[in-house]
């Protein structure tokens, strides 16, 4: 015959440790899921950057400007939805002020989005998501899109 064993009630220390591990793993899964959700729009954002680069090359060709003179640029979306491409060129030899070229994107029929796809709704104030520097376009809205 087996000896009588007293049943234990309550939470053991190992049960508490397993619950803590479960909470930690669930929290890590939620954080990684949100990171994946932001990163899945990377290809769309990259296509926006590619089309902006193609537009810059067209503008450079039309204005007969040289690429090394292009210092910076950005795409500005106004609160009313109109977009502008603003390019800043280094001054030519003998001049002191930089030259600025403003291109209206709605007149050009620019088909790509001016904002990062992570913008769910248009911002109420003017917004800049794409910035041209160091020879390429950068997404300022999410660092994973670079």
| Concatenated DSSP letters of 101-142 | EEEEHHHHT--S-SS-TT--S--SS-EEEEEEETTEEEESS-
Question: Could you tell me what percent of the chain has a pLDDT over 90?
Answer: 49
Question: Across-strand partners of 89?
Answer: 70, 99
CA angle 129, 66, 96 (to 5 degrees): 85
pTM of the model: 0.72
What's the sign of the alpha-carbon dihedral 135, 139, 145, 146? positive
d(CA 34, CA 140): 18
Question: Across-strand partners of 133?
Answer: 136
d(CA 127, CA 114): 9
With beta carbons less than 8 A apart as the criterion, state whether 127 and 139 touch. no
Tens-place pLDDT, residues 2-46: 666 666 666 778 888 999 999 999 999 999 988 777 777 888 999
With beta carbons less than 8 A apart as the criterion, state whether 86 and 102 touch. yes
pLDDT value at residue 1: 57
pLDDT value at residue 84: 94
Neighbours of 22 (CB within 10 A): 10
């Amino acid at each position: 015959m087996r000896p009588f064993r007293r049943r234990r009630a309550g939470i053991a220390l190992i049960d508490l440790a397993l619950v803590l591990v479960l909470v930690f793993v669930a929290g890590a899964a939620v954080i990684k899921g949100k990171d994946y959700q932001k990163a899945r729009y990377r290809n769309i954002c990259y296509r926006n950057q590619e089309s902006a680069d193609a537009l810059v090359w067209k503008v450079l060709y039309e204005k007969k400007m040289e690429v090394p003179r292009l210092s910076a640029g950005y795409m500005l979306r106004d609160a009313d939805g109109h977009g502008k491409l603003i390019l800043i060129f280094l001054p030519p030899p003998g001049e002191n002020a930089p030259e600025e070229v403003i291109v209206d994107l709605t007149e050009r029929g620019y088909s790509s989005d001016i904002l990062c796809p992570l913008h769910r709704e248009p911002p109420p104030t003017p917004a800049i998501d794409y910035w041209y520097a160091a020879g390429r376009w950068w997404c300022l809205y999410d660092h994973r899109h670079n």
